């Protein structure tokens, strides 16, 4: 039996011919050894290769934004590469990782974690966390309004000056 299996609700792995295998309390780093012991109870000469993946959202200035299954032992930078890497307008210094819309890694701490070679697991990332890589030169509606307000002051100033003199 060779395939990719997804851990379901309640940390349960459903395997054909074996049934439900509870993974409650099993760390990602212990997954392969645990499954080898557990499957050894049901199968003769079981050879187990297991690798935990974490589903992450990679958004912003990357070549292919979207959701990616990234190995838990992959480097933090590998998640960006899974999405095709940063685009030329990416602001790498403003990269952040969010959970439920709130930053959990950002700024200097994130840059140091990447430089130190931290993995997805080391950083404590879980399914649903989101990498956000802002773009340079993005115009916001506020920028447009401020610029429009500035342009409007020019004719008003000229009109005022012609009335004064």
Contacts of 135 (CB under 8 A, 6+ apart): 60, 61, 87, 89, 90, 91
**pLDDT given at position 58:** 96
Consecutive 10-residue runs of the chain (165 residues): their mean pLDDT?
Answer: 77 84 88 88 83 92 95 93 94 94 94 95 93 81 70 74 74
**pLDDT given at position 97:** 97
**pLDDT given at position 142:** 67
Q: Which ranges of the chain would DSSP assign to H, the alpha helix? A: 31-40, 76-82, 107-115, 141-164
């Amino acid at each position: 039996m060779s395939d990719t299996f997804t851990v379901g609700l309640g940390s349960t792995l459903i395997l054909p011919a074996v049934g439900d295998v509870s993974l409650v309390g099993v760390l990602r780093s212990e997954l392969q050894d645990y499954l080898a012991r557990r499957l050894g109870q049901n199968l003769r000469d079981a050879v187990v290769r297991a690798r935990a993946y974490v589903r992450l959202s990679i958004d912003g200035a990357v070549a292919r934004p979207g959701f990616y299954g990234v190995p838990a032992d992959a480097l933090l930078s590998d998640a960006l590469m899974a999405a095709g890497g940063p685009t030329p307008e990416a602001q790498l210094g403003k990269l952040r990782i969010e959970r439920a819309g709130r930053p959990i890694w950002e700024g200097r701490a994130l840059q140091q974690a990447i430089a130190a070679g931290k993995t997805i697991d080391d950083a404590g990332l879980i399914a649903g966390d989101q990498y956000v890589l802002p773009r340079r030169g993005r115009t916001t509606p506020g920028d447009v309004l401020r610029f429009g307000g500035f342009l409007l002051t020019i004719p008003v100033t000229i009109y005022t000056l012609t009335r004064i003199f």
